[in-house]
Amino acid sequence: MMGDSITDVGRARPIGEGNGEALGRGYVALVDAFLQSRYPAERIRVVNMGNSGDTVRHLKARWKPDVLDLNPDWVSIMIGINDVWRQFDRPLLSECHVLPDEYEKTLATLVAQTQPKVRGLVLMTPYYIEMNRLDPMRARMDEYGAIVKKIARKYGTLFADTQAAFEEVLSVCYPATLAWDRVHPNLAGHMVLAGAFMKAIGCEG
């Protein structure tokens, strides 16, 4: 499972796999717990290769050692939050901004080169825990989420709409109850992400 800090959440280095908090303290660990408890006979190995601060550029740079060299059967990707966030929290540092065209091209390239080597891919949208769609960062995040959906359709991957999953909860909850900065979720927020992932792979409940 590849991604940024939302995937990382303190996972073990160099490989995020093992006992205790080796899988981190977020949605990856929750997905693993669900799979191990529901399908123990399948002996599913979940590996967390998230890295805090990553954009899709960083994923591209480490794709071979952190994904392809591990010979996974399935790969899950959730990236894009930092690609958007850097445009808002570091507006003058344009060199660290990953604009939509680069984001789409890079993510599509990673999917295309990986798809023939695995049984399947799961693409998860980036999100912003904000109900106001006119909020500038929320609007930008929706644009990147639409790119993920477009790539998922083009390559026939599984697709998890994490923004939609949060909206369902936000209809009754204030954003700060899920994430103090509307980005890094608490355990309840990570459960929302885990639920979106499980829905995408057909294992709800």
Amino acid identity for residue 156 in this structure: G
Q: Is 5 a catalytic residue?
A: yes
Residues 6+ apart with CB under 8 A from 16: 8, 22, 23, 24, 28, 47, 48, 49, 50
Cβ atoms of 28 and 50 within 8 Å: the answer is yes
Helix boundaries (H) for 68-176: 81-89, 100-114, 136-155, 162-170
What tokens were used for 164?
């939609």
Instruction: Tell me the three state secondary structure of residue 76.
Output: strand
Catalytic residue among 54, 58, 184, 190: 184
Catalytic residue among 73, 89, 94, 181: 181
Evaluated on CA atoms 62, 66, 68, 73, the torsion sign reads: negative
Amino acid identity for residue 9 in this structure: V
Amino acid identity for residue 165 in this structure: A
Cβ atoms of 1 and 21 within 8 Å: the answer is no
Straight-line distance from the first to the last Cα atom of the chain, in angstroms, rounded to the nearest whole number: 21
Q: Is 37 a catalytic residue?
A: no
- Among candidates 96, 89, 15, which has minimal Cα distance to 54? 96
Catalytic residue among 4, 5, 8, 161: 5
Catalytic residue set: 5, 181, 184
